[in-house]
Chain A
Amino acid sequence: MTQTDLLTLLPNILLVTWACILLLVDLFIPQRRKGMIALLAVFGLAVVMGIVLAQAGREMTAFNGMIVVDGFSVFLSVLFLATGILGIAIAYGYLKRMGIERGEYYTLMLFSISGMLLMAQAADLIVIFLGLELLSIPLYVLAAWARPRLESEEAGLKYFLLGAFATGFVVYGIAMTFGATGSTRLSEIVARVAGGEAVTTLLLIGAALLLVGFGFKVAAVPFHMWTPDVYQGAPTSVTGFMAVGAKAAGFAALLRIFVSAFPSLSVDLVPVLWGLAAVTMIGGNLIAIAQTDIKRMLAYSSIAHAGYILMAFVPYGNPKVAHDSVASALFYLVAYAITSFGAWAMVIALEKAEGKGLEINDYAGLGRKHPAMAAAMTVFMLSLTGIPPTLGLIGKLYLFRSVVEGGFIGLAIIGVLTSLISAYYYLRVVVVMYMRDGDPQVTSESWLNLTIGAAALATVVLSFVPAALFTLASDAVLKLF
């Protein structure tokens, strides 16, 4: 291991070491004060984020080209680390309130985040596989965290079985890709394909299996069956973390693999991706209408948003628009992350220990009793729908623009129409909050309120300066092509 190797992997090494240290520290902290572990974990994440930011602007390759640091990896690593910090912020009071506070929660989160970082940095299918598993296995445990509550155990087992099933597809897809090209290195795969040495049939099978595997991970229709159950059954703080982090990591790997290894397959894959994006948008939004449970509603909403991000994949083989479409996917991931975290934090604020307070009707009267909370929730719902002045709208505009420029007008129309449909169930929450009388009980916790406030503020403020964020995303993907 050379010095470059060490420097490149430093964020990961630090994160995993810190997680192991916290596991030991946890033994010496009395049960009443487990919150300390949360603070230490946030401290670790902040330090690692500092190191990642120091790596920004550099190009590094390590371990014989298995790991890279480039704009793409730095952009996404910062997103993942921020997800981790927000994930801990919303979990801090919630775990205590639900009586499921144990120090290992934060350790498992750190392990999962290091898996996400690895996925963003991977330039080899082996590393992508390892990152995927390092990300998923702690999440299986976290989903079942509220044990012995049956819903949580069930969510854990379902997530585990479907996640492992998806892993099977990913591994077999990698095997076929390896069989087609004789290498697992992304750069070598693309070189072999360009040199005409690859077995095209095997490569196509491999790409299709990878798409199925990651389709499960990012919850695209028709591989979404697990999502509502897992999102509903898992503790809400885990759900928020999972909905943002795991989805973003899945998309990171998909983008990296498809853009840097399979550009030549775009002709064959475009119809498949087109269909996948369309079905995901339509399915997610239509089923969401019928939901009365806010967690399930947000679960279907997250499926629908996976569909919007998948739209960015459709023009990836067209060199003229590929750059912008990948950049708009990153932009949308950030917009979705901020908004979705805010919405999940609101769910946590209204959730009560015995699992009550999760119906949409429980939000009645929020507008009168807690105007600030209701205003924040309104911002999140507007942003998820794509109504100005919110970040969600800007994200959708960028996505639709790149899709239209790629020549897929039909898909853009489906996107707009499904956004209109989604207005129905998002705005229903707003209507219930302001138009109906009720006595909602809100738990006020400083960390939670801070997250909600910051997310609402960011959703509105960033929508006035979207160009800055888009430039960042655009610079990040520059080296990907």
Chain B
Amino acid sequence: MEGTIPLSYYIAVSAILFTMGALGVLIRRNALIVFMSIELMLNAANLAFVAFARSYGVLTGQIFVFFVITVAAAEVAVGLALIVAIFRSKHSIDVDQMSSLKG
């Protein structure tokens, strides 16, 4: 495997992406950006899956990626619908302002 990128590089990139995604969820306040950060986490996992699958020479990882992409698409449909619904009634998608539930 002369000249190919070693596995650890892929995993490092995927770990960085995952951390960025997780931090984004915790720090950003716009529901859409939070959602994008979650997608980043999922895609970080996809990258790791593909890299591992290639190094092991098995297809499981690639197949998993298809499942993740499909499920993420389903989640987008529901998530965007929820965000649109809440924007209609609040005219804001700032998660800090979602404080009608308290105790």
Contacts and interface: CB of A to CB of B under 8 A. Distances in A.
Contacts of B48: 172, 175-176, 179
A137 B75 contact: yes
A25 interface: no
Contacts of B90: 150
A130, A156, A157, A178 pick with most chain B CB within 10 angstroms: A157
A96 interface: no
B64 A178 contact: yes
A167 to B, nearest CB: 7
A229 interface: yes
Contacts of A233: 100-101
B52 A182 contact: yes
Interface string A119-141: 00000001001100100010011
A182 B58 contact: yes
Interface stretch (A1-9, A84-92, A288-296): A288-296
Given A153-B86, A161-B35, A168-B45, A133 B75 contact: yes
A174 B64 contact: yes
Contacts of A291: 103
B71 A175 contact: no
B13 to A, nearest CB: 13
How many B residues touch the partner, as a band?
35 or more
Interface string A273-306: 0000000000000000011110010000000000
Contacts of B49: 175, 178
B79 to A, nearest CB: 5
How many A residues touch the partner, as a band?
35 or more
Contact of B101 (A140, A154, A183): A154
A13 B95 CA distance: 38
A168 B103 CA distance: 29
A314 interface: no
Interface in B1-21: 11, 14, 18, 21
A175 B21 CA distance: 16
A160 B60 contact: no
A233 B102 CA distance: 10
Interface string A149-177: 01101111110110011011101101110
A164 B53 CA distance: 24
A228 interface: yes
B27 interface: no
B86 A157 contact: yes
Interface in B41-96: 41-42, 44-46, 48-49, 52-53, 56, 58, 60-61, 63-64, 67-68, 71, 74-75, 78-79, 82-83, 85-86, 88-90, 95
B71 A130 contact: yes
Given A144-B82, A164-B75, A232 B61 contact: no
B68 A171 contact: yes
A175 B63 contact: no
Contacts of A157: 31, 82-83, 86, 95, 98
B101 A232 contact: yes
A463 interface: no
A99 interface: no
Contacts of A292: 103
A160 B79 contact: yes
B64 A184 contact: yes
A140 B78 contact: yes
A126, A141, A167, A171 pick with most chain B CB within 10 angstroms: A171
A178 B101 contact: no
Given A172-B48, A176-B48, 15 more contacts: A126-B60, A133-B74, A141-B78, A151-B100, A156-B85, A157-B83, A165-B25, A168-B45, A172-B44, A175-B52, A178-B53, A178-B60, A179-B48, A232-B101, A296-B103
28 contacts: A126-B60, A126-B64, A129-B67, A133-B74, A137-B74, A144-B85, A150-B90, A151-B100, A154-B101, A157-B83, A158-B98, A160-B82, A161-B25, A161-B34, A164-B35, A164-B38, A164-B75, A167-B75, A168-B18, A168-B38, A168-B42, A172-B44, A174-B64, A175-B48, A178-B60, A232-B103, A291-B103, A292-B103
